[in-house]
Amino acid sequence: MKGMFMSSNGAAAEIGLIGLGTMGGNLALNIAEHGFQIAVFNRTTEKTDQFMAKAGELAPKLVPTKTLEDFVASIKTPRAVILMVPAGEAVDAQIEALRPLLDAGDLIIDAGNANYHDTNRRAAEAAEKGPRFMGIGVSGGEEGARFGPSIMGGGAKDAWDQVGHILEAISAKHEETPCAAFLGEAGAGHLVKTVHNGIEYADMQMIAEVYGVMRDGFGMSASEIGDVFEKWNGGILQSYLIEISGKVAKTADPDTGKPMLDIILDKAGQKGTGRWTAIEALMLGTPASAIEAAVAVRNMSARYEERKEGEAEFGAAPSGMDREAVTIDALEAALVAGKIICYAQGFGLILEAAKQYGWAMPLPEIAKIWRNGCIIRSSMLNDMSSALSDDAERNLMLAPFFSAKLKETEAMLRQVVAQSALHGLPVPALSAALSYFDIMRTGRSTANMLQGQRDFFGAHGFERTDKDGGGYHGPWAMG
């Protein structure tokens, strides 16, 4: 390890980036386009040559390097190095390789989709061994990385102060406001990115469920369904995910001329962030049932052969849903209600983590930086930001704007879920959202029965409605 906080070493690059894959390559070009000189390094060095060959007029802003030593030497001190490599071992290995080459006052920024527990551990290790460490969530896919992602910052505030101006410059803008912010220490940024992806899973799943009702219940073609999504994108559901769902539905396969949707195999992939969100919700004891349902459906979708056997055994769901009972407007309303509920769950989870770790986690700010650049960007996030500014601790469902929307749409969510169940059409995320709504608006739940059962078999005790304190037991007869 070299000395602490060396002054500038005369190097040209203001920042460095390792990992010129889909995200890293585009992020490097974005940084260069905003006028910052950037050193780049890739494990497979031929990719660096290919990257430079395509850099065009941005090439003078890029410093290609073939060894880590050259890479480090090309960056001004105190150095800032972005890692854009797969989460897990690759990040640890890269940090270990960099540590002997960097000064204690330098900064490593993991910009991949890390598990925030790993980020917490790496931040603690960095505090002990240096260099400084930050974990930032970056959302927006390939296009976002190139032209403006949403950036969820976590780590030491002084580290954000060092690179925040670069991250804000390259981020998406919502009416000129950067979609990048510092959200709290250690793994705060990666926790927020993880929950972003959990919400992404639920949002996508609910869209897929209404697509299923239109396809299998109403017998609509992919193109007709695409028209519906296109129309919805002009209303309250305006969002990137509705927009691309319309485009996906209306695209034809160049090989066969059939709709792409009729060609794509119905086995969903997943890289883990949705699952991490569900695990985290369970660990923190905060409800995220719509997100959990979305993860479970991806797992079920992967059991393709088993599903085929199930269809052979039990028969496919009957088609021909009553278009009087469930209208296209009802499907739109169900999506509105489901969306509000899954965000209420997501923000509730972030709030709980913030309390547990003592992180700042400004919820209105999080809603603001999700308004553009990221995959879940939507016009509703503006209203969410306002509602959370009024009261960040209150369940989003109870904010006046959203409670009014839920009162308008609840009956239609119920109708969509009920009719889908009657017709054997699975709508698990919408059902989970409806159950959450029904439980969270029920003063007297059925948990009294659970408490009675627990006390009966394990003498776990319960509280009474008519007396203070806990530890009461029932007069259960043994045997």
Ligand X SMILES: NC(=O)C1=CN([C@@H]2O[C@H](COP(=O)(O)OP(=O)(O)OC[C@H]3O[C@@H](n4cnc5c(N)ncnc54)[C@H](OP(=O)(O)O)[C@@H]3O)[C@@H](O)[C@H]2O)C=CC1
Ligand Y SMILES: O=C(CO)[C@H](O)[C@H](O)COP(=O)(O)O
Active site members: 193, 200
Asked whether the bond before 428 is cis by omega within 30 degrees of 0, the reply is: no
Task: Examine residue 50 and tell whether it contacts ligand X (CB under 6 A).
Answer: no
Chosen from ligand Y, ligand X, none, partner binding at 47 (C-beta under 5 to 8 Å by type) = ligand X
Give the Cα separation of 152 and 139 in Å (integer). 8
Helix, strand or coil, per DSSP, at residue 236: coil
Task: Examine residue 372 and tell whether it contacts ligand Y (CB under 6 A).
Answer: no
Chosen from ligand X, ligand Y, none, partner binding at 50 (C-beta under 5 to 8 Å by type) = none
Residues numbered 271 to 300 that lie near ligand Y (CB under 6 A) are: 271, 273-274
Chosen from ligand X, ligand Y, none, partner binding at 246 (C-beta under 5 to 8 Å by type) = none
Candidates 79-87, 163-171, 248-256, 407-415: pick the segment binding ligand X (CB under 6 A). Answer: 79-87
Token pair, residue 74, equals: 């090309």
Task: Examine residue 141 and tell whether it contacts ligand Y (CB under 6 A).
Answer: yes
Q: Specify the residue, 139 or 419, whose C-beta has the smaller distance to ligand Y.
A: 139
Give the Cα separation of 6 and 14 in Å (integer). 15
Task: Examine residue 139 and tell whether it contacts ligand Y (CB under 6 A).
Answer: yes
Q: Which helix (H) or strand (E) holds 452?
A: helix 447-458
Angle, vertex CA 394, rays to CA 448 and CA 137, nearest 5: 110
Q: Specify the residue, 71 or 232, whose C-beta has the smaller distance to ligand X.
A: 71
Angle, vertex CA 91, rays to CA 45 and CA 184, nearest 5: 130
Chosen from ligand X, ligand Y, none, partner binding at 197 (C-beta under 5 to 8 Å by type) = ligand Y
Determine what percent of the chain falls in helix, strand and coil, rounding each to the nearest 5. 55, 10, 35
Give the Cα separation of 429 and 326 in Å (integer). 18
- Smallest gap from residue 332 Cβ to ligand X (A): 28
Q: With contact defined as beta carbons under 8 Å apart, do 347 and 396 qualify?
A: yes
Residues numbered 256 to 275 that lie near ligand Y (CB under 6 A) are: 269-271, 273-274
In terms of Cα–Cα distance, which of 245, 277, 239 is closest to 371? 239
Task: Examine residue 112 and tell whether it contacts ligand X (CB under 6 A).
Answer: yes
Task: Examine residue 197 and tell whether it contacts ligand Y (CB under 6 A).
Answer: yes
Segments in 74-115 forming alpha helices (H)? 89-98
In terms of Cα–Cα distance, which of 158, 21, 149, 130 is closest to 83? 21
User: What is the DSSP secondary-structure string of 163-179?
Assistant: HHHHHHHHS-EETTEES
Chosen from ligand X, ligand Y, none, partner binding at 270 (C-beta under 5 to 8 Å by type) = ligand Y
Name residues whose C-beta falls within 8 Å of residue 439's C-beta, 6 or more positions apart in sequence.
445
Candidates 133-141, 280-288, 383-391, 394-402: pick the segment binding ligand X (CB under 6 A). Answer: 133-141
Task: Examine residue 409 and tell whether it contacts ligand X (CB under 6 A).
Answer: no
Residues numbered 85 to 104 that lie near ligand X (CB under 6 A) are: 85-87, 90, 93-94
Q: Specify the residue, 17 or 375, whose C-beta has the smaller distance to ligand Y.
A: 375
Residues numbered 137 to 166 that lie near ligand X (CB under 6 A) are: 138-139, 141
Give the Cα separation of 108 and 72 in Å (integer). 11
- Smallest gap from residue 451 Cβ to ligand Y (A): 38
Name residues whose C-beta falls within 8 Å of residue 50's C-beta, 6 or more positions apart in sequence.
none
Q: Specify the residue, 144 or 226, whose C-beta has the smaller distance to ligand Y.
A: 144
Interface residue list for ligand Y (CB under 6 A): 113, 139, 141, 197, 200, 269-271, 273-274, 375
Q: Which residues bind ligand X (CB under 6 A)?
A: 19-24, 42-44, 47, 84-87, 90, 93-94, 112-113, 138-139, 141, 271
